[in-house]
Amino acid sequence: MTKKLMDRSGKRHEFADPTLIVTTATLVVSLVIAAIVASVGIARADTLAPIVQGNGGRVVLAVLLGLLIAGMGCLTAAVVRDGTHPPRRD
C-alpha cells in the first residue's frame, strides 16, 4: 500500500483544463464590466433612489445581484462539465 502511494505521489499532476481557465477569466471580466456599467448607469440616472430609500429595497437589490452571480456560475459549470470523464479521486 505504501509503495503504491509513493508511486502515485511521484507522478506529475496536470493543471486545470485551458477551457476552464479561459471560461473563468471571461466570467470575471464580464462581472467587472457589468459592475462598472451598472455603477455608471446608477450615477447618471439615479432611478433607484426611491427603491433604496426603504429598508426592503436594499435587500431586494442584494438578492438580485446574488442570484445573478450564482446563475452565471451555474451556467459556467454547466457549459464546462461535459460528463465524459469520471471524477478524479486522488
For residues 4 and 20, which has the higher predicted lDDT (pLDDT)? 20
Q: State the residue for C-alpha cell 426592503.
A: 56
Instruction: Determine the Cα–Cα distance for residues 52 and 80; give it in Å rounded to an integer.
Output: 37
Give the pTM: 0.37
What value does the mean pLDDT of the chain take? 75
- Kindly indicate the confidence band of residue 48, based on its pLDDT and cuts at 50, 70 and 90: low
Cβ-count burial of 57 within 10 angstroms (0-12 exposed, 13-18 middle, 19+ buried)?
middle
The percentage of residues in the chain with a pLDDT greater than 90, rounded to a whole number, is 7
Which whole number is the average pLDDT over 10-22? 72
The percentage of residues in the chain with a pLDDT greater than 70, rounded to a whole number, is 56
For residues 22 and 81, which has the higher predicted lDDT (pLDDT)? 22
Is the model's pLDDT at 14 over the cut of 60? Answer: yes
- Are 45 and 39 in contact by the 8 Å Cβ rule? The answer is no
